[in-house]
Amino acid sequence: MTEAILVLEDGRVFRGESYGAVGETVGEIVFSTGMTGYQETLSDPSYRRQIVTMTAPHIGNTGVNDEDDESQAFWVAGYVVRDPARLSSNWRSNATLDERLAAQGVVGISGVDTRALTRHLRELGAMRAGISSESTDVESLLATVKASPSMAGADLAGEVSTDQTYVVPAIGDRKFTVAALDLGIKGMTPRRMSERGIEVHVLPSGATLDDVLAVKPDGVFMSNGPGDPATADSSVELLQQLLERKVPYFGICFGNQIFGRALGLGTYKLKYGHRGLNQPVQDLTTGKVEITSHNHGFAVDAPIEGTFDTPYGKGRVTHVGLNDQVVEGLALLEQPAFSVQYHPEAAAGPHDADYLFDRFAELMGGGR
């Protein structure tokens, strides 16, 4: 096996063996607590320019297949695991994870004490890091890491978005048409809508108001995606124009942060973010607690109790994370618009939040 090193921005070094492609990479290092769903994680465009550490020790047990990817590529900048599976076993598997990582050019490292690494990131926060299996020169890699860009201020949605509009047809009778802005959309999201009789027109991240209105949508959706929401001025402006027209709106993750900004709220970077399949969130409308799938490093700054004023009437926080009281959902009270910070499509996790797609359909149908 080829020796590899992982060097963090603060100078901490982890040594291990090459996993996936041989090479050198840098990015923001984060951790994901999911015990399954690694293929969906790797192919989630929201991980653009991030090195992902898996806290579950055994990764790759079921190999990879052609059905579970959330997009057309593995977007992670790097991959850190403790004990990669020596054999993969699943009736759908057609390659090992190591083989797919190498084919996708993802530089990884194995044999790392991921528990120690995760504790370090929890205490000090997400930071820049680098992996190299080409050289074990720590000082050289550390200099490269310190010269790399920060995630704060990163405008990445355009790097992962579709180049041209495509349509995901409704399953069965078409009840509604939705214009979905692809800021890093996961494949399961339009599928969840199509299951409810929604025809989804997926538009590039740079779509204009005219592009959206040309679809003649019954509602507009903004997806998850990578980067700092503070850079998404064009998407915020587009959403404000749509809210002025009272077009029903649903946003997920990045789409929640854009909704917050459109309402006049601020966003901020979390210390180490939420990434995993086991995050408890309370729906403040019903009191119900959901176990949800998350992938976000930024959050909306809004008052959890009561309402707040917006240019479109009163707004309120609808969902809150029970681990740290982070805002996980927003809604307008006087027109049909809402969003959540987590992932109700949750292809790699539970389906507790699947009802949100029904809620969107009800809003488009004139329900409140």
Contact 52, 24 (CB under 8 A): no
Per-position DSSP letters for 11-74, written without gaps between them: S-EEEEEEEEB-SEEEEEEEEE--SS-HHHHHT-GGGBTEEEEE-SSEE-TT-B-SS--SSSS-
Of these residues, 120, 253, 290, 296, which one is catalytic?
Answer: 253
Is residue 327 within 8 Å of 304, Cβ to Cβ?
yes
Measured CA to CA in angstroms, residue 250 lies from 77, 110, 247, 336, 348 at distances of 29, 39, 10, 9, 21
Query: Sign of torsion, CA 182 188 191 193?
Result: negative
Cα 256–Cα 52–Cα 83 angle in degrees, nearest 5: 140
Q: By the 8 A CB rule, do 132 and 51 touch?
A: no
Query: What sign does the CA torsion over 315, 240, 274, 149 have?
Result: negative
Residue 159 annotated as catalytic: no
SS3 285: coil
- Distance (Å, whole) CA 237 – CA 235: 5
As a whole number of angstroms, the distance between CA 312 and CA 263 comes to 8
What is the rounded CA–CA span in Å between residue 109 and residue 5? 7
Active site residue 345: yes
Candidates 93, 132, 95, 109; CA nearest to 20 is 109
Which listed residue (120, 274, 296, 343) is catalytic? 343
Q: Is 343 a catalytic residue?
A: yes
Residues annotated catalytic, as ranges: 253, 343, 345
